[in-house]
Structure 1
Amino acid sequence: MPEPSQHTHAAKPAEPDYAGLVRFLVAPFLELPESLKVDCEISPNRSKVWVRVAFEGTDKGRVFGRGGRNIQAIRSVLEAAARAAGSTAYLDVFGSSPQSSEDGSDREDVASKPPPRRSSSVKEAPKLRSRSAPPDELET
């Protein structure tokens, strides 16, 4: 019968290659994959990870996907990898937009403007025709 293992403590999982993972997930969406820039910052206690990606603004639609599905899937995979290592991951997307923010960064504003408000004016009821009156006797 095999002897039980002598290990009394669980081994800490290896730190994932966050930059490599994000590069692997984002590059297929890009027209020029070599334009992808990835920066990874890990907190000193290794509890938080910030991954920043930048690419050409023309690729933004493909990377984000319809309704943001692609970027949300990429974030989910990144967060799952971080959770497996006992960390929390955050993904920031930067783009090459012609306008820069006040602090000099080229970060894309992902918040959209609110939808236009409906006018509260009361509409006039449509005029109904009488079935018994001929069309030339109707008021317009």
Structure 2
Amino acid sequence: ALKKRIGQGRKPTVSQGAGAHENSIQIDILRVDADRLLKSLNYHVAVASNLDPKLFRDLQMQLQGSVRVQVNAGPIAFAKAFLSPDSSAENTTEAYRRELRAALTSFVNACKRGIEFVAPYVAHDTEKFHAALEEGFVSIAEELSPFLKE
């Protein structure tokens, strides 16, 4: 019957929506943000730990996406939204705030470890790029520093 209707020029439509269950689970946005940061951290640690020195450019590109503020302002935005004293996120628990602080600290440490790992293998043609990564790391670490203290 559906084939016949489509063939006759009618568009298939949904006549009834899916019902919502009263006891739906609400996912806390802070948990989602912390999970995303932890996944990023795990990637950086895995790459920094197992990377063949000839392939360090992949790590440099990942670091660029993490420490260059114009590329990735996410960690700073999360910290300001959930950890600043004047935060509007009143419904977040202290446990989630501790978890986010831990995730941000791990993120900063992983970025630092990645930059230190890449440093000995920087070629002459990528020295400026690596210097920009280091500057970006210092900048993001300094901006996050006040939020990482309880």
Q: What TM-score do the two structures reach when normalised by structure 2?
A: 0.28
Q: Which has the higher contact order (CA 8 A, sep 6+)?
A: 2
Q: What TM-score do the two structures reach when normalised by structure 1?
A: 0.29
More helix by share: 2
